[in-house]
Amino acid sequence: MSRYDVIVIGGGPAGLAAAASARGHGAKDVLVIERAERLGGILNQCIHNGFGLITYGEELTGPEYAHRAELAAREAGVETLLDTMVLSVAKDRTVTCVGPEGLLALSAGAVVLAMGCRERPAGALAIPGFRPAGVYTAGCAQRLVNMDGLLPGREVVILGSGDIGLIMARRMTLEGAHVACVAELMPYSGGLKRNIVQCLDDFDIPLLLSHTVTRIEGRRRVEAVWLSEVGTGGRPVPGTEVRYPCDTLLLSVGLLPENELSREAGVRLSAVTRGPEVSQALETSIPGVFACGNVLHVHDLVDYVTQEAEVAGAAAADFAMAGGQRRGGHIVPVMPAGSVRYVVPQRLDLDALPEKVTFRFRVGAPIDSATLAVEASERTLLRRRRPIMVPGQMEQVTIRREDLLTVAGGITIRAEEEGR
């Protein structure tokens, strides 16, 4: 069985940055295993610009960002195994995969999970009607248009206003299709403000908030979808149904971390993020198994994926080079409060704190004039005002080691409307 210091599963921006960082922190043999024929992950199909403003101070397309991440990993001396699917990760960090050379069992000093996320499919929505052709997830349509040169339809309705839905509204329009509207179940969009402006407003595409699809018409191919307003409890309001003739329905109704491997390995998963629960080193509940990127929690900006992955890669290298010896042990919880829905990491190891720790989180609903606070028992470690906080935008705060050393009862990250 071949042995590596660090094995990274997934060759998207998270996996590539984690692997380069592991090499930079002293791991000698670092391997990235990617099931696709090329590295870069989801970025290969995101041909729009808007990537890399924080990392490179430039506006890159997805493939350009992926190319830079790949170059950095190759220059760092990372090995890659493409066209190879990881089937399982054992608690002793044996990684079993299958590729052109058949079944392989590899042993690792540390493992980094970086398998990205997948879209919620149509089946998860239980929309009444037949299952005609013409219903795609937005990411699937993006791949057809941007990589295969195929236009999935000409008259389009989009359900869900997450970033992929917004980006595909613009993309389909630029390719000559007509996008009748983007319907969103919630009373607010799930996407970034800049995408609402650049992808909908600039192209006069209506955004129908508090609306959902209540019927799909058509037996062989979609002929129309019916949209209804939704009221309290997310229920359609009777009598508000409107018919939109179309041949295509794109679904952008949520992303889920790709966590089958993690679950089978016995990694403890968060009920909120659906990704692993981790410490500040991004170590999961299994010693020596780390996680980063969209498999940990869904990100909106790839720059933060890269930053997070660098932490996971460095920690994986430390673990492997220390021969699997765990440092520290004084664990305290990190808890969300007020409007904050989740925080990553979920726990701190006070005996192994680095110089600073970045906490990433989202609120569960939009709040105006927000006060954001990081609290420890009676102390407030940080307090900031935010004009607005929305679920579609991941937030982050960084706290210095000296402020965290004495938080014996853990810390709370709280966001509330000012004055509450």
Q: How far apart are CA 375 and CA 391, in angstroms?
A: 21
Please identify, using beta-carbon distances, which residue of 101 and 241 lies nearer to ligand FAD. 101
Binding to ligand FAD (CB under 6 A) within 247-266 occurs at 258, 261
As a three-state string, the secondary structure of 193-236 is: HHHHHHHHHHHCCCEEECEEEEEEECCCECCEEEEEEECHHHCE
Considering only 4-12, 208-216, 318-326, 345-353, which stretch makes contact with ligand FAD by CB under 6 A? 4-12
What is the nearest approach in angstroms of ligand FAD to the Cβ of residue 163?
5
What is the nearest approach in angstroms of ligand FAD to the Cβ of residue 117?
6
- Bridge-based pairing state of the strands 331-338 and 411-417: parallel
Q: Whose CB is nearest to ligand FAD?
A: 12
Decide: is 109 part of the binding site for ligand FAD (CB under 6 A).
no
State the binding string over 125-164 for ligand FAD (x if CB under 6 A, else -): --------------x--x--------------------xx
Where are the strands (E) in 76-151, listed by range? 79-81, 85-89, 94-99, 102-113, 117-119, 135-137
What is the nearest approach in angstroms of ligand FAD to the Cβ of residue 194?
9
Binding to ligand FAD (CB under 6 A) within 269-328 occurs at 293-295, 299, 301-303, 305
Q: Which of 116, 142, 139 is nearest to 35 (CA)?
A: 116
Binding to ligand FAD (CB under 6 A) within 83-102 occurs at 85-86
Which of 95, 114, 353, 411 touches ligand FAD by CB under 6 A?
114
Considering only 40-48, 148-156, 169-177, 215-223, which stretch makes contact with ligand FAD by CB under 6 A? 40-48
Residue whose pair of structure tokens reads 């696709």 in the numeric block? 36
Torsion from C-alpha of 363, 366, 367, 369, nearest 10 degrees = 110
Tell me, by CB under 6 A, how many residues bind ligand FAD: 37
What is the nearest approach in angstroms of ligand FAD to the Cβ of residue 175?
15
Q: How far apart are CA 130 and CA 220, in angstroms?
A: 8
**What is the C-alpha radius of gyration for the chain, rounded to an integer number of angstroms?**
22
Total count of residues recorded for the chain: 420
Longest dimension (CA), the chain: 66
Q: Are 115 and 309 spatial neighbours (Cβ–Cβ below 8 Å)?
A: no
Please identify, using beta-carbon distances, which residue of 314 and 370 lies nearer to ligand FAD. 314
Q: How far apart are CA 385 and CA 222, in angstroms?
A: 47
What is the nearest approach in angstroms of ligand FAD to the Cβ of residue 418?
30
Query: At a CB cut-off of 8 Å and minimum separation 6, what does 319 contact?
Result: 109, 110, 283, 287, 288, 290, 325, 326
Q: How far apart are CA 411 and CA 130, in angstroms?
A: 50
Please identify, using beta-carbon distances, which residue of 138 and 208 lies nearer to ligand FAD. 138
Which of 6, 8, 14, 343 touches ligand FAD by CB under 6 A?
14
Considering only 108-116, 206-214, 241-249, 318-326, which stretch makes contact with ligand FAD by CB under 6 A? 108-116
Binding to ligand FAD (CB under 6 A) within 171-190 occurs at none
Q: Are 275 and 115 spatial neighbours (Cβ–Cβ below 8 Å)?
A: no
What is the nearest approach in angstroms of ligand FAD to the Cβ of residue 13?
5
What is the nearest approach in angstroms of ligand FAD to the Cβ of residue 395?
15
Which of 4, 51, 244, 290 touches ligand FAD by CB under 6 A?
51
DSSP characters for 341-401? EEEES-EEEGGG--SEEEEEEEESS-EEEEEEEEEETTEEEEEEEEEEE-TTS-EEEEEEH
Please identify, using beta-carbon distances, which residue of 160 and 218 lies nearer to ligand FAD. 160
Q: Are 98 and 81 spatial neighbours (Cβ–Cβ below 8 Å)?
A: no
Please identify, using beta-carbon distances, which residue of 46 and 348 lies nearer to ligand FAD. 46
Q: How far apart are CA 299 and CA 361, in angstroms?
A: 10
What is the nearest approach in angstroms of ligand FAD to the Cβ of residue 229?
27
What is the nearest approach in angstroms of ligand FAD to the Cβ of residue 106?
12
Which of 4, 6, 7, 50 touches ligand FAD by CB under 6 A?
50
Q: Are 27 and 290 spatial neighbours (Cβ–Cβ below 8 Å)?
A: no
Please identify, using beta-carbon distances, which residue of 173 and 294 lies nearer to ligand FAD. 294
Which of 42, 78, 196, 222 touches ligand FAD by CB under 6 A?
42
Residues that bind ligand FAD (CB under 6 A): 9-15, 33-36, 41-43, 46, 50-51, 85-86, 114-116, 139, 142, 163-164, 167, 258, 261, 293-295, 299, 301-303, 305
